């Protein structure tokens, strides 16, 4: 039972990070139907910027809390600028191109960003400065840290904020209108370009936050870390029903928990035949099984057969 609770907690933490990244995918997809493969790299750049900024500030003698906040702010700003630039330079010219064209562009941008990051930060693993005090808690036989609590709380608050933005503000209404039908939305006076840019910028800011969380949690970062994280987050977004905000959140958390439980129990389930290094398989197996029965994800709207 202890392992069960422990793995649920670990899964919840990992899942909140997936959820934040998944939101970036799902917002862009919901509005313009594009899989932004470069989103994982945006997250990676957020982590590495924080290392540089917070690390050098701490070295300069600043208090850790100030340095950490400055690092986070820097990461969020850099990623927002990056998200905006990506949309403006790479995707906007392709808005009416054949369906697969922007996908290849996204892959190209992902390769570009990864190698730019390697040129700037090198190919070695980097240690993330410890920004939060290490305090341990114990609850019903399971251990968890202050960092885990903060990750879950901050992502919950951020997601709440995003929902408020999308469902209670004018910009949010414009976003929902664009997602339903860009042509009609623009006839009603919605500035489509601004809405799409906003989706990229907000998604990237969430990605930067997730990047800082990943760094704080694992205390290590690398120029290739965005790839698998992005892949998992995208899987989470599809699992929840891509284009659906609540779906991405729940999909992310579900994926995190399934992975953690899978890694904890796969040995017992298969009589020791498969070990915990099969952890990465769970995400994809669950995805395939779910889509077999619910072809548009768990919470996705039923996409009617349209010509």
- Dihedral of CA atoms 120, 133, 9, 260 in degrees, nearest 10, equals 30
The answer to whether the beta carbons of residues 237 and 20 sit under 8 Å apart is: no
Helix (H) or strand (E) segment spanning residue 126: strand 126-127
Distance, first Cα to last Cα, the chain: 51
In the DSSP assignment, the letter for residue 38 is T
For other proteins, the binding residue among 140, 187, 188, 292 (CB under 8 A) is 292
Cβ of residue 152: shortest distance to other proteins, in angstroms? 26
Residues 6+ apart with CB under 8 A from 111: none
Examine residue 278 and tell whether it contacts other proteins (CB under 8 A): yes
Cβ of residue 157: shortest distance to other proteins, in angstroms? 29
Helical H runs in 129-278?
146-168, 170-180, 182-187, 192-218, 225-240, 245-269
Cβ of residue 125: shortest distance to other proteins, in angstroms? 16
Examine residue 200 and tell whether it contacts other proteins (CB under 8 A): no
Examine residue 283 and tell whether it contacts other proteins (CB under 8 A): yes
Q: In angstroms, rounded to a whole number, what is the distance separating the alpha carbons of residues 166 and 30?
A: 12
The answer to whether the beta carbons of residues 206 and 155 sit under 8 Å apart is: no
Examine residue 128 and tell whether it contacts other proteins (CB under 8 A): no
Q: Which stretch binds other proteins (CB under 8 A): 43-51, 152-160, 185-193, 232-240?
A: 232-240
Q: Which stretch binds other proteins (CB under 8 A): 15-23, 110-118, 131-139, 175-183?
A: 110-118
x/- mask, other proteins, residues 31-70, rule CB under 8 A, reads: --x-x-----------------------------------
Q: In angstroms, rounded to a whole number, what is the distance separating the alpha carbons of residues 56 and 266?
A: 42
Site residues, other proteins (CB under 8 A): 29, 33, 35, 90, 93-94, 96-105, 107-112, 114-116, 118-119, 123, 231, 234-235, 238, 242, 272-275, 277-278, 280-281, 283-285, 287-288, 291-292, 295-297, 303, 305, 307
């Amino acid at each position: 039972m202890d392992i069960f609770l422990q793995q649920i907690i670990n899964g919840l933490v990992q899942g909140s990070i997936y959820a934040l990244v998944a939101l970036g995918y799902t917002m862009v997809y919901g509005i313009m139907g594009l899989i932004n493969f470069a989103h994982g790299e945006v997250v990676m750049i957020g982590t590495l910027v924080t290392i540089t900024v917070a690390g050098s500030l701490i070295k300069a003698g600043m208090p850790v809390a100030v340095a950490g906040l400055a690092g986070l702010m820097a990461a969020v700003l850099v990623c927002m600028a990056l998200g905006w630039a990506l949309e403006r330079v790479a995707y906007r010219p392709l808005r009416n191109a054949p369906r697969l064209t922007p996908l290849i562009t996204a892959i190209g941008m992902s390769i570009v960003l990864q190698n730019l990051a390697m040129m700037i930060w090198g190919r070695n693993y980097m240690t993330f400065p410890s920004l939060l005090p290490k305090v341990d808690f114990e609850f019903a036989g399971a251990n968890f840290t202050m960092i885990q609590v903060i990750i879950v709380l901050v992502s919950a608050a951020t997601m709440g904020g995003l929902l408020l933005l999308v469902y209670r503000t004018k910009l949010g209404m414009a976003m929902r209108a664009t997602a339903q039908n860009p042509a009609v939305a623009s006839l009603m006076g919605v500035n489509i370009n601004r809405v799409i840019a906003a989706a990229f910028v907000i998604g990237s800011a969430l990605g930067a936050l997730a990047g800082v969380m990943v760094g704080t949690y694992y205390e290590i970062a690398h120029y290739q870390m965005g790839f698998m994280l992005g892949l998992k987050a995208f899987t989470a977004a599809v699992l929840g029903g891509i284009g659906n905000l609540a779906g991405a959140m729940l999909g992310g958390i579900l994926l995190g928990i399934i992975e953690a439980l899978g890694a904890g129990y796969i040995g017992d389930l298969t009589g020791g035949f498969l070990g915990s290094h099969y952890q990465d398989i769970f995400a994809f197996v669950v995805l395939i099984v779910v889509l077999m029965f619910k072809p548009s994800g768990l919470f996705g709207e039923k996409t009617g057969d349209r010509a």
